Amino acid sequence: MQKRYLPIAIVTGILFLVALGGYLAPAGSEGPPVRVLLANKGGKVILDHAQHIDDMEGRCADCHHTSGSDPNPPACSSCHAAKFGKDFAISHQDTMDEKQCGSCHHAGATIGKFAHDEHADDYASGDCQTCHHDTDIEPEPQACSNCHTNGADSRPSLRDAAHARCADCHDDMFKEGAIGCTRCHERKTEPASEADYQPCADCHASPTDQLIPTTMAAFHAQCQGCHEKNGSGPYGDDACYQCHMK
């Protein structure tokens, strides 16, 4: 009698595996995935991506923070590697979409929101040396770029020199981090073929693995931070089991 149930058990097992595969498999490239399986040393995580899209009312950029209004933003793992090293440095140029290049190599960043005339008006005495060098160095103020270049010499770069002087008056912006940058800088879309990309070290003194968090660090900071802010969903060290499966 038991043998008669064997075919039923086999068919049931096959159907279960097919259903499980469909549950875990991401959707096709024509649209955002329904669920995402995240491998992690703390245990795999199934992210209900479709539910998060509904919860965030389609604000993809809240998590995919380099996507802007892109309806198909890149996967988090495209920028946030499991580990940064020589392999990542070599492979990321081939694995990333060209539209993502500008998220790190921001060749299209401009100082468009900086109004020189307004700053001059703020100093009624006409004391240009508040930003430019004082009269002990030069009798008349020059353009910063006349002396401060991006070359590897003893002088600070234009970026470092300007930031050091601006911070004297705008300490609040610098405390805001990347958000404060938008008070002066504008990001414009620039085709990858026209961008003049520079090595990270030209602007950033910190190693790449400190500039861009790993996948695990990025998910923990972004996901748990949002959960805690909204007072719902798992967050905190004692809630790991709510996401991670052993």
Domains of the chain: 2-80+213-245 (3.90.10.10), 109-187 (3.90.10.10)
Identify the band that residue 28 occupies on the pLDDT scale cut at 50, 70 and 90. very low
Name the residue among 224, 185, 219 with its Cα closest to residue 79: 219
Q: Using an 8 Å Cβ cutoff, are 134 and 142 in contact?
A: no
Q: Which phi and psi angles does 236 have, rounded to 5°?
A: 95, 160
What is the pLDDT, as a whole number, of residue 120? 81
Check pLDDT > 60 for residue 26: no
Q: What is the pLDDT of residues 68-82, one digit of tens each?
A: 667 778 788 878 888
Q: Using an 8 Å Cβ cutoff, are 199 and 107 in contact?
A: no
What is the pLDDT, as a whole number, of residue 27? 47
**27 token code pair:** 């959707």
Q: What is the pLDDT of residues 2-20, one digit of tens each?
A: 566 677 777 777 877 777 6
Question: Cα(231)–Cα(96) distance, rounded to whole angstroms?
Answer: 35
What is the pLDDT, as a whole number, of residue 153? 67
The mean-pLDDT minimum among 48-62, 167-181, 220-234 falls in 167-181
What is the pLDDT, as a whole number, of residue 211? 82
Q: Which residue has the tokens 């693995």?
A: 209
Q: What is the pLDDT of residues 94-127, one digit of tens each?
A: 877 777 777 777 767 777 788 888 888 877 666 7
Q: Using an 8 Å Cβ cutoff, are 74 and 96 in contact?
A: yes
Q: Which phi and psi angles does 193 have, rounded to 5°?
A: -70, -20
Q: Which uninterrupted H or E stretch holds 29? A: none
For the chain, the first-to-last Cα distance in angstroms comes to 37
